[in-house]
Amino acid sequence: MVAEMAQVPPSPEVQQAIQRTLGWLKARFRRHYESKDLLLPDQFTHREFGFMYFQPGLVHRHKSFDDVHGLRTFLAGKPPARDVPAHVYHSSAYYERPDAPTMEEKGWLGADLIFDLDADHIPKSKEMTYEEMLEAVRKKIVQLHDEFLVRDFGFDERSLKIVFSGGRGYHIHVTDPRVWELGSHERREIVDYITGKELDVPGFFRESAFDAKEFRGIVKVKKMVVPPRTVDAGWGGKLARGTVALAERLEVMPAAQAVEFLAGFESVGASGASDLYENLFKARPPTGIRGVDRLRESGNLEVLTDKNRDRLLAVVTQLQQVRVDTFGPLELDGIRARAETDEPVTSDIKRLIRLPSSIHGKTGLEVVPVSRDRLDAFVPLRDAVPSAYGDDPVEARLRAPIKFRLRDETFNLTPGIVTLPEYAAVFAVCRQLATVS
């Protein structure tokens, strides 16, 4: 973080500013950990804890704690801690000996099921502001929670713990005992279902005979395509509900905006977007009824041409999918932790996840548990600013322009010397955009 500013050999003055800033920032983190009512994961004495520090590449793993006092002392950088950490993690797994130096010696007992959703999983996130990215991810985590984990898998909401990551996304911890013993294969199947991997969309639309006539011994059967219903379980119901929701969403948009939205999907394109929009919303003589009216009334996609039906379903499928990350190498913000070479790495059941109530070292924001009821109104840049950060003025030197909104106050700053409230200065420093004077 701050130390990364020094990748180019700094002048003595810059070096002093970096060290001064680093000491100032650690003091704010320490204040948070000394005053915060720390939130501990279930069975925390059976969890491994891991830490990253402000010095690049410095990782401390294979640590466990017997009580909250020991954890608080460690986080505040008091002996025997090395320093105040920039990032704090705990294992999703439960171990007999969480502080053992190898996975084999730890004695794996089971693991929560963790979903990690951040801005990288949102299309066109690079074109969004930080605030816009967080809102897009919040909507997706609602979909993951409501549509998949509760509606489809039937998890009790009390076993689903939603957590703002402090950075660019959210986590969901599934603590239901039924998931603890799931292995990699079973967890991958859950992910494949949620992401709609190899989803057979046409398979949800079946042909049904509705009339038969016999003439000279030949029976002619009329068939119609029966779509899934909005009340159906699983992906069939998602496609049905998603189709109606998308049509209604497009209907209230200005035509040009709706076409532009559709054209943004690779499966539609510019020419296909115009054709699909017209098929949905152009009144048909002599009745004046539009395709969207019949679609809303019956859910039957036969009102569309075959090409437009496929285009619409492709868009709906993409909107209903939730890209989640529960697999991949065991890494702490890009630094791969050491693994024993003779042991298969099944990172989904041995991974580390951010500790709720800790601070994210790249933003200065708190890792905040959020109830489902609170999630709809949760605003990270307002609600995840630690209360330990005050309003006292801090003189800072900005390296680059920055515009952000914290605690309902907007900051639009240009490079140079500026005065910021302490909480905003912490954010700017953690984003590597400022040093304090």
The SS3 assignment for 83 reads coil
**Do residues 183 and 53 both lie within one domain?**
yes
**Do residues 190 and 223 both lie within one domain?**
no
Q: Considering 388, 405, 426, which residue would you say is the last residue of a domain?
A: 388
Which CATH number belongs to the domain containing residue 42 in this structure?
A: 3.90.920.10
In a domain, 131, yes or no: yes
Report, as an integer, the average pLDDT of 240-254: 90
Query: Pick the catalytic residue: 37, 66, 211, 342?
Result: 342
Instruction: Annotate 407-421 with b (16+ C-beta within 10 A) or e (fewer).
Output: eeeeeebeeeebebb
Catalytic site includes residue 66: no
Sign of dihedral through CA atoms 65, 69, 72, 73? negative
- Number of neighbouring beta carbons within 10 Å of residue 197: 11
**Do residues 131 and 206 both lie within one domain?**
no
**Do residues 228 and 301 both lie within one domain?**
yes
Catalytic site includes residue 200: no
Question: How confident is the model over 280-315, as pLDDT tens digits?
Answer: 998 888 878 888 888 887 777 778 888 998 999 999
Catalytic site includes residue 118: yes
Question: How confident is the model over 2-32, as pLDDT tens digits?
Answer: 444 445 567 888 788 889 999 999 999 999 9
CA separation for the pair 108, 118 (Å, rounded) = 28
**Do residues 316 and 355 both lie within one domain?**
no
The pTM (predicted TM-score) of the whole model is: 0.84
> CA dist 270 to 22, 131, 254, 264, Å?
50, 29, 16, 8
Question: How confident is the model over 353-387, as pLDDT tens digits?
Answer: 999 999 999 999 999 999 999 999 999 999 999 99
In a domain, 111, yes or no: yes
Look up residue 163 and give its two tokens.
Answer: 């957590």
CB 61 within 8 A of CB 320: no
**Do residues 48 and 178 both lie within one domain?**
yes
In a domain, 422, yes or no: no
Q: Considering 320, 341, 370, which residue would you say is the last residue of a domain?
A: 320
**Do residues 185 and 291 both lie within one domain?**
no
Instruction: Annotate 198-236 with b (16+ C-beta within 10 A) or e (fewer).
Output: ebebeebbeeeeeeeeeeeeeeeeeeeeebbebeeeebb
| pLDDT above 60 (res 342) | no
> CA dist 186 to 27, 227, 303, 305, Å?
44, 30, 40, 39
Look up residue 357 and give its two tokens.
Answer: 């109530």
**Do residues 65 and 192 both lie within one domain?**
yes
Total domains present in the chain: 2
Report, as an integer, the average pLDDT of 181-191: 88
Question: How confident is the model over 318-334, as pLDDT tens digits?
Answer: 889 887 754 333 333 33
Query: Pick the catalytic residue: 118, 275, 293, 348?
Result: 118
Q: Which of 12-16, 257-261, 311-315, 416-420 has the lowest mean pLDDT?
A: 12-16
Question: How confident is the model over 99-125, as pLDDT tens digits?
Answer: 999 888 999 999 999 998 888 777 777
What confidence score (pLDDT) does residue 322 get? 87
**Do residues 355 and 335 both lie within one domain?**
yes
CA separation for the pair 297, 291 (Å, rounded) = 10
In a domain, 336, yes or no: yes
What range does the domain containing 255 cover?
A: 202-320
**Do residues 221 and 185 both lie within one domain?**
no
In a domain, 402, yes or no: no
Query: Pick the catalytic residue: 116, 293, 310, 348?
Result: 116
CB 430 within 8 A of CB 167: no
**Do residues 121 and 252 both lie within one domain?**
no
In a domain, 416, yes or no: no
Please state the φ and ψ torsions of residue 10, each to the nearest 5 degrees. Answer: -85, 160
Residue for token digits 């409501």?
146
The SS3 assignment for 208 reads strand
Q: Considering 388, 404, 426, which residue would you say is the last residue of a domain?
A: 388
What confidence score (pLDDT) does residue 27 get? 96
Report, as an integer, the average pLDDT of 206-228: 69
CB 87 within 8 A of CB 29: no
The SS3 assignment for 38 reads coil
In a domain, 364, yes or no: yes
Longest dimension (CA), the chain: 101
Residue 344's pLDDT band (boundaries 50, 70, 90)? very low
What confidence score (pLDDT) does residue 327 get? 37
**Do residues 177 and 249 both lie within one domain?**
no
CB 374 within 8 A of CB 398: no
